[in-house]
């Protein structure tokens, strides 16, 4: 039913049906039992389908719109990206007892080394007035007997194309948590056989946080850049709920002096 439009005839039929059901409702208290039983069956059948339409409409029409790629970008940005996890609905929105390596949508993977996983994750719909991303990502961590928990974002090929030492890569995160913890962001750049790594701690004093990776201080070989990815590393996540309302990355050349 893609791109289907509601016709004038369907509008007329709906108006007549609505008036008919209004009459049924007004007369229900005085309707005989046999007729009321039949009306009850009809009403329940209608309600099942009405509930499906209402549920889907509330999900898809709630702001921000699904698939929206609106984001805050610094002046001079030549590439920007929001991972699919925060952009569109996942086929499997949640997972309990998350294994040590678990793909969460395209290009996003959770890693940990717990012997017994008590980690639950779920994609959630963003509906707050301040939200820009259509979806958020929630992690509920209970007992945690591992040494690390990380969310790995594989950047698309466009991020590596034309990457120079004069570029700045910016990571913006909107995060909520039940209790304070440390989150580190590690940018990984594969160039030839080597991997350059730059680590920054997210300043979590504000709800919306940002870090920048200045490639001028790296040893990246511009001519051999193959791939980029970012690790979000959560320190001491035990007995905590972390919600990443949005994650975006952007790239811009540093201003010439």
| Per-residue pLDDT reduced to its tens digit, 138-187 | 999 999 999 999 999 999 999 999 999 999 999 999 999 999 999 999 99
pLDDT at 219 (0 to 100): 92
pLDDT at 232 (0 to 100): 98
What are 184-220's pLDDT values in tens digits?
A: 999 999 999 999 999 999 998 876 689 999 999 899 9
What are 47-100's pLDDT values in tens digits?
A: 888 877 776 666 666 666 666 667 778 888 999 999 999 998 888 889 999 999
Q: Is the pLDDT of residue 119 over 60?
A: yes
Q: Measure Cα distances from 125 to 68, 83, 100, 243 in Å.
A: 13, 15, 25, 11
pLDDT at 110 (0 to 100): 96
Q: What angle do CA 74, 248, 167 make, to 5 degrees?
A: 50
In the predicted model, what is the mean pLDDT of residues 111-119?
A: 93
Higher confidence at residue 65 or residue 237? 237
Go through the domains of the chain in sequence order and give each one's CATH number: 8-61 (no CATH), 79-253 (2.60.120)
Q: What angle do CA 114, 118, 120 make, to 5 degrees?
A: 120
- Min mean pLDDT across 4-8, 216-220, 244-248 is at 4-8
pLDDT at 14 (0 to 100): 83
pLDDT at 63 (0 to 100): 65
In the predicted model, what is the mean pLDDT of residues 30-37?
A: 89
pLDDT at 67 (0 to 100): 63
d(CA 25, CA 193): 74
pLDDT at 58 (0 to 100): 61
Residue 41 CB contacts under 8 Å (≥ 6 apart), including other chains: none
pLDDT at 2 (0 to 100): 52
| Closest to 232 measured CA to CA, from 193, 203, 199 | 199
Q: Is the pLDDT of residue 257 over 60?
A: no
In the predicted model, what is the mean pLDDT of residues 113-131?
A: 90
In the predicted model, what is the mean pLDDT of residues 30-54?
A: 86
3-class DSSP assignment, residue 169: strand
pLDDT at 70 (0 to 100): 73
Whether this prediction's pTM lies above 0.85 is answered by no
């Amino acid at each position: 039913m893609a791109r289907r439009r509601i016709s004038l005839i369907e509008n007329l039929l709906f108006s007549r049906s609505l008036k008919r059901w209004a009459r049924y409702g007004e007369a229900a208290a005085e309707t005989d039992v046999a007729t009321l039983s039949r009306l009850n069956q009809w009403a329940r059948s209608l309600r099942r389908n009405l509930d499906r339409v209402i549920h889907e409409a509330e999900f898809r029409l709630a702001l921000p719109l699904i698939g929206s790629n609106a984001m805050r970008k610094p002046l001079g940005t030549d590439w920007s990206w929001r991972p699919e996890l925060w952009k569109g609905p996942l086929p499997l929105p949640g997972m309990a007892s998350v294994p040590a390596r678990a793909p969460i949508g395209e290009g996003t993977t959770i890693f940990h080394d717990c012997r017994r996983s008590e980690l639950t994750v779920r994609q959630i719909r963003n509906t707050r007035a301040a939200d820009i991303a259509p979806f958020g990502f929630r992690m509920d961590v209970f007992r945690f007997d591992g040494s690390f928990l990380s969310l790995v974002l594989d950047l698309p090929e466009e991020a590596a194309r034309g990457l120079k030492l004069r570029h700045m890569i910016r990571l913006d995160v909107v995060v909520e948590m039940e209790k304070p913890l440390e989150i580190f962001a590690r940018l990984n750049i594969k160039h030839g056989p080597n991997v350059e790594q730059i680590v920054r701690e997210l300043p979590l004093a504000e709800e919306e946080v940002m870090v920048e990776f200045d490639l001028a201080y790296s040893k990246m070989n511009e001519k051999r850049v193959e791939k980029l990815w970012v690790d979000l590393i959560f320190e001491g996540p035990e007995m905590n709920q972390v919600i990443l309302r949005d994650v975006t990355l952007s790239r811009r050349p540093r201003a010439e002096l």
